[in-house]
Amino acid sequence: MTIPPDATLADVGEFGLIAQLTALFSQGEHVLVGPGDDAAVLRVRTGHVVVSTDLLVEGRHFRRDWASAEDVGHRAAAQNLSDINAMGGTAHSLTIGLGAPGDLPVQWALDFARGFAEECALVSASVVGGDLTGAREVVIAVTAIGSCAQAPVLRSGAEPGQVLAIAGRQGWSAGGLAVLGRGFRSPRVLVEAYRRPEPPYGAGPAAAAAGATAMIDVSDGLVADAGHLAQDSGVSIDLRSAAFEVPEPLHAVAAATGSDPLQLILGGGEDHSLLATFDRGSVPDGWTEIGTVGDGEGVTVDEAAYDGPAGWAHF
């Protein structure tokens, strides 16, 4: 079926679009039944099965004038793949629910699917099913399924005397968001970091193998997510500001906006870096030690209360 370039979802209908979308998603050997039946069927090997679900709502989590459909596809896949990564696992299967207005161009949906598939290919994950419905704005629901070779690393295992480390870049997406919010498109490297995050895929399983005791994906903000880890573990965490190398693009954005570049790092999310705690001397390659775990509760920066932006508020 050939889709006219100006076709909308209302023009091709649900099943016409499904046929176009499923053709974009290749299936791994673990997929016994993929898209097209009432449910997918997957071959489960030994280990632990881990599952995560996330929502993206247009105007709340993305704007179509700030990011292309392919960018949104990459973002939607990345944040779900990162959740599996944060458990010390690797995603192998995903499903997508897409709600959209009838006048949305079909090409937008196809480009979104291509971006999603490209991101999934980075970890060899398959899109095994999903659903479509009408909606006032674009709403995306993604469920990721993965496996852990060892026991999953939870948020609740940190202990006093351990160290906190980070893997992946931090503050870049926040810098890009600040730029876009001011109506600019540079530094381009930060705008691209916002549009297409680069989670440190593989760092989660490596941390688990090295003995990580607690781990979390930084999606809401570094201070906020360190706070979640501290709360679930019943400990306090102190971040060392000197441990963060502030890249030049963040200095440029801070200078242009009159802000502190360190706040972009401490309060920024959506780079999908990982935070994890380790026994001293056990931090693996690719991770940077940025703080310590102690008795008490909450998060401090340089042993003092932090009063800057801690992260994203969903409500």
Q: Kindly give the confidence (pLDDT) of every residue in the chain, 315 residues in length, as a single tens digit, with 9 standing for 90 and above.
A: 677 777 887 887 766 777 777 777 777 777 777 676 556 677 777 678 889 989 999 999 999 999 999 999 999 999 999 999 999 999 999 999 999 999 999 999 999 999 999 999 999 999 999 999 999 999 999 999 999 988 999 999 999 999 999 999 999 999 999 999 988 888 999 999 999 999 999 999 999 999 999 999 999 999 999 999 999 999 999 999 999 999 999 999 988 888 889 999 999 989 999 999 999 999 999 999 999 999 999 999 999 999 877 665 544
Which residues line the annotated binding site? 38, 52-54, 61, 83, 130-131, 155, 217, 219-220, 270, 312
Which residues line the annotated binding site for Mg(2+)? 38, 52-54, 83, 131, 217, 220
Return the domain boundaries, the chain. 9-148, 163-305
State how far the Cα of 186 lies from the Cα of 161, in Å rounded to an integer: 42
State how far the Cα of 88 lies from the Cα of 208, in Å rounded to an integer: 5
Which residues line the annotated binding site for substrate? 61, 270, 312
The identity of residue 304, as a single letter, is: A
Coil, helix or strand for 251? Answer: helix
When the candidates are 3.30.1600.10, 3.90.110.10, 3.40.1190.20, 3.30.1330.10, the CATH number that belongs to 9-148 is: 3.30.1330.10
pTM of the predicted model, to two decimals?
Answer: 0.86
Which residues line the annotated binding site for ATP? 130-131, 155, 219
Q: Is 302 exposed, middle or buried (0-12, 13-18, 19+ CB in 10 A)?
A: exposed
Architecture of 163-305 per CATH?
Answer: Alpha-Beta Complex (3.90)
The identity of residue 176, as a single letter, is: G
The dihedral through the CA atoms of 292, 238, 273, 91 has a sign that is: positive
Q: Which two tokens stand for residue 148?
A: 């852990």
